[in-house]
Every structure is written in structure tokens, then in C-alpha cells.
Amino acid sequence: MREALTGTIKSYSRKTGEGLIALDGEDEPVRVDLLSSAGVWLKNGLHMQLSRIQRPKGVYAFNIKLISRCP
């Protein structure tokens, strides 16, 4: 079973499909890309539930679900 984490999209580029999610209560952000977001276009400020997975280029978000939009 994978851990369930929450976080907010800190930065995201629609051009590249890559960005960072700031995890709630943790210092290190996780990466997100089109593969880890299952092709869903994200944007800054979205609050997400996610798991994380180790990939060759670092730690990435996995199994992302939208919780709410931040103001």
C-alpha cells in the first residue's frame, strides 16, 4: 500500500507538462509531469492527494487526485 499525501501545485508549466508539488508538512517538493498526472493538465494552486514514486530522475507524484482549488 502506498502512502497517501497531500500537497499544492507550487509551479507548473503547461508548455512542458512538468512542475513541482509542495507537500503538506514536508520540506522537499515532489516532481510532477504528464506521465504522473495521467495526462491531466494541472495548474498552480490546485490542492492534490497523491502518492510518491521513485523514478530515475527523482521522486515523482503518482496517483494524483484533485482535492480542491486554492484561492
| Cell numbers linked to 63 | 496517483
* Domain locations in the chain as residue ranges: 5-69
Residue 34 has pLDDT above 50, yes or no: yes
What's the 3-state SS for 33-65?
CCCCCCCCCCCCCEEEEEEEEEECCEEEEEEEE
55-69 pLDDT tens trace = 999 999 988 888 876
**24 versus 14: which is more confidently predicted?**
24
**Separation between Cα atoms, residue 68 and residue 70, nearest integer Å:** 6
CATH code of the domain occupying 5-69: 2.40.50.140
Residue 41 has pLDDT above 90, yes or no: no
pTM of the predicted model as reported, rounded to 2 decimal places: 0.85
